[in-house]
Amino acid sequence: MLRQSEKTVLFIPALGKGRKMAKVLVIGGAGYIGSHVVKALLEKGHQAAVYDNLSTGQKVNLFEQAEFIEGDILDSGLLFDTLRNGFDAVVHLAAKKAVGESMEKPNKYSINNIQGSLNILMAMAECGVRHIVFSSSAAVYGMPEYLPVDEAHPLNPINYYGFTKLEIEKFMDWYDRLKDMRYVALRYFNAVGYDSEGKIRGKEKNPQNLLPIIMETAAGVRDGMSVFGSDYDTRDGTCIRDYIHVSDLASAHVLAIEKLIEGMPSAVLNLGTGEGTSVKEMIDAAEKVTGKKLNVTYAGRRAGDPATLIASSEKARNLLGWKPQITDIEEIIRTTWNLEH
Ligand code: WQD
The mean pLDDT value for 130-145 works out to 98
Confirm if 228 and 302 have CB atoms less than 8 A apart: yes
Ligand 1 centroid to 210 CA: how many Å? 6
Beta strands 240-241; 277-278: pairing state: antiparallel
**Catalytic choice (32, 109, 141, 161):** 161
Distance in angstroms (rounded) separating the CA atoms of residues 287 and 293? 6
Among 212, 190, 217, 214, smallest CA distance to 202 is for 212
Distance in angstroms (rounded) separating the CA atoms of residues 133 and 105? 26
161 is catalytic: yes
Distance in angstroms (rounded) separating the CA atoms of residues 185 and 168? 9
pLDDT tops 60 at residue 250: yes
The mean pLDDT value for 24-33 works out to 98
pTM of the model: 0.96
The mean pLDDT value for 176-202 works out to 97
**How does pLDDT run across 142-171, given as a tens digit for each residue?**
999 999 999 999 999 999 999 999 999 999
Is any ligand 1 atom within 6 A of the Cβ of residue 137? Answer: yes
What ligand 1 atom has the least distance to the C-alpha of 309?
20
Distance in angstroms (rounded) separating the CA atoms of residues 265 and 314? 17
Q: What does each C-alpha distance from 206 to 53, 103, 180, 277 come to in angstroms? A: 18, 18, 40, 23
Is any ligand 1 atom within 6 A of the Cβ of residue 296? Answer: no
